[in-house]
Chain A
Amino acid sequence: MRRSASTEARDAASLVLWVCPVNRAARLIPALGVVAALILLLTFAVGDYQALLLKGAAVTVSLALCSLVLATTLGIAGAAAKIRGGRILRFIASIYTVIARGIPDIVMILLFYFGGQRLLNAATEAMGLGVFELSAFVAGTLAIGLIYGAYLAETFRGAWQGLPRGQIDAAKALGLPTVLAFRKVYLPQLIRAVLSGYSNVWQVLVKSTAVVSVIGLADLVGIADKIGKSTRDSFMLMTIVLLFYLTLTIISERGFGWLERRSDRWAS
């Protein structure tokens, strides 16, 4: 049973469109434009500080994205260790979840910023290297990534264990190669099962980035806090920050909601 090249191509194209929906994204552009205009308008209200606030917003968004990448990696590793690992790996993975979920984000960030530097110094000294400074951005990314990696590990593991076993057996019985079975049978269902948990974690993670300002990171909150205190207009500045985060979380919610509907259709 040979599949024609054109079917393959169409499959590939639909997968690409699913992952990166160009035509759909185009419709979002006006909405995003309105939101950007709103934020710009508000930042104009604080005049001279506009450029600084926009820089801070960029730091906040990149911090959130970097943390999400780290959290996803740790989540996959953690889930794999819990599902497939031996006793030792499973033990390490559960110690990791216990610690990561038992300590507040702000405490974790402070721990990484100071304690992490101590460990890093010990390591570089042992190797005879100079001091590498653990910046606020890196410490924040590590701390937030570590915390939410533990949550994602649970999300991923739950999704994997929730897969209908019958389908896996069926794929095996049909003689599908492992890679193909993973791509065609598991992955679509995994994505669907993971999406809602993943979007939850992302929403909480975004809000956690605000806390990194306490170790002096010049993110949106840190900058707005400093400006607000020196101009004595924290109210205006914090309102801008509030609206920024609100926009970010609402866009994410809509985006993930759309992806979930999309994956429901695709997987069923």
Chain B
Amino acid sequence: MKRIILALAASSILTAGAASAETLKVCAEGAYPPFSKTNEAGDLEGFDIDIANAICDEIGVTCELQATEWDGIIPALLEKKCDAIIASMSITEERKKAIDFSEKYYNTPARFVARSDADFTIDEDGLADMVVGVQRGSVHQDFMEKTFPEVELQLYGTQDEVYLDLQSGRLDAAIQDSIAADDGFLKTDAGDGFAFIGGNQNDPAIHGEGAGIGVRKEDVFLKYALSAAIAALRENGTYKEINDKYFEFDIY
């Protein structure tokens, strides 16, 4: 059964008009460590990138990764600049109106980060005079706009920019994925003096069911093939290998 789906997927990529039958064009990001970042040679690396390559291996195609600015990543998919988004994108109802998703490939909660000595609470009063940073077009922006509409929000193009302004003191707090914040910021030198504040923020209606691979709605076979590939990676241990390279526990 799996073989058939994979074969169908390969043909669906072909008809989707990718540059050639053997490549899958993948939109990734590049400023969201440890999931994706740009290394010294200018190449992409990180959890998302490793997963993308493993999935392409599983389907039997080559990944052609391209760094895409986050707030234009769904438009880029819709305009066929790429065929799939592997960029830690949460599967949400709002996004499902525009695109479709594979099954999740990881799921971690969102949390606020602030200075370790900050003494405000995460509620309407505690955040009243604070400036909070989020990545533009992320679920965290939706979360802030719906849960704390009165709080002053600053929108950034990348998560790295959020950390920079958090460190320099332009922001009082930031909300983002807890794992991304932990490994991409708190555990680095720059994150010295910062800590999580409050518990996990989880609103299923906004945060969705984890990060999935975004595809165009018409590419149904590709969607199934990607889900099947994720399941296969979980089964054959490749996922665990990649997971352990970055994290101390299973983030699935």
Closest chain B CB from A223 CB (angstroms): 7
Question: Is the C-beta of B190 less than 8 angstroms from some C-beta in chain A?
Answer: yes
Residues of A within 8 A of B31 (CB): 226, 229-230
The answer to whether B68 and A118 have CB atoms under 8 Å apart is no
The answer to whether B17 and A130 have CB atoms under 8 Å apart is yes
Closest chain B CB from A76 CB (angstroms): 32
Residues of B within 8 A of A117 (CB): 79-81
Question: Is the C-beta of A216 less than 8 angstroms from some C-beta in chain B?
Answer: yes
* B167-191 to A contact mask, C-beta < 8 Å, 1/0: 1000000000000000000000010
Interface of A is mostly: helix
Question: Is the C-beta of B30 less than 8 angstroms from some C-beta in chain A?
Answer: yes
**Chain B: CB-nearest residue to A129:** B17
The answer to whether A230 and B160 have CB atoms under 8 Å apart is yes
A41-76 residues at the B interface, CB under 8 angstroms: 48-49, 52, 55
User: Of A133, A214, A218, A226, which contacts B81 at CB under 8 A?
Assistant: A133
A114 to B30, alpha carbons, bound, how many Å? 20
Question: Is the C-beta of B104 less than 8 angstroms from some C-beta in chain A?
Answer: no
A117-151 residues at the B interface, CB under 8 angstroms: 117-118, 121, 130-131, 133-134
Residue picked from B25, B30, B76, most chain A C-beta under 10 Å: B76
Question: Is the C-beta of A172 less than 8 angstroms from some C-beta in chain B?
Answer: no
Question: Is the C-beta of B204 less than 8 angstroms from some C-beta in chain A?
Answer: no
Size class of the B contact interface (CB-based, 8 Å):
20 to 34
Residues of A within 8 A of B25 (CB): 133
**Chain A: CB-nearest residue to B20:** A130
* A207-218 to B contact mask, C-beta < 8 Å, 1/0: 000000011101
Question: Is the C-beta of A184 less than 8 angstroms from some C-beta in chain B?
Answer: no
The answer to whether A52 and B164 have CB atoms under 8 Å apart is no
A223 to B40, alpha carbons, bound, how many Å? 10
Question: Is the C-beta of B93 less than 8 angstroms from some C-beta in chain A?
Answer: no
Question: Is the C-beta of A183 less than 8 angstroms from some C-beta in chain B?
Answer: no
B1-57 residues at the A interface, CB under 8 angstroms: 17-19, 25, 30-31, 37-38, 40-42
The count of residues in chain A whose C-beta lies closer than 8 Å to any C-beta of chain B is 22
The answer to whether B80 and A131 have CB atoms under 8 Å apart is yes
A6-47 residues at the B interface, CB under 8 angstroms: none
The answer to whether A52 and B81 have CB atoms under 8 Å apart is no
The answer to whether B79 and A118 have CB atoms under 8 Å apart is yes
The answer to whether B164 and A229 have CB atoms under 8 Å apart is yes
Question: Is the C-beta of A232 less than 8 angstroms from some C-beta in chain B?
Answer: yes
Closest chain B CB from A138 CB (angstroms): 12
Known: A214-B69, A232-B164. A121 touches B80 (CB 8 A): yes
Closest chain B CB from A24 CB (angstroms): 38
**Chain B: CB-nearest residue to A117:** B79
Residues of A within 8 A of B79 (CB): 114, 117-118, 121
**Chain B: CB-nearest residue to A133:** B81
The answer to whether B190 and A52 have CB atoms under 8 Å apart is no
Interface residues of B (CB under 8 A from A): 17-19, 25, 30-31, 37-38, 40-42, 66-69, 72, 75-76, 79-81, 158, 160-161, 164, 167, 190
Can you list 26 A-B contacts with CB-CB less than 8 angstroms, sorted by A residue number?
Answer: A49-B40, A52-B41, A55-B42, A113-B72, A114-B75, A114-B79, A117-B80, A117-B81, A118-B79, A121-B80, A130-B17, A130-B19, A131-B17, A131-B19, A133-B25, A133-B80, A215-B72, A216-B66, A218-B42, A223-B42, A226-B38, A229-B161, A229-B164, A230-B31, A230-B38, A232-B167
Please give 9 more A-B residue pairs, beta carbons under 8 A apart, in addition to A52-B41, A130-B18: A117-B81, A131-B17, A131-B80, A214-B69, A223-B42, A226-B38, A229-B31, A229-B161, A229-B164
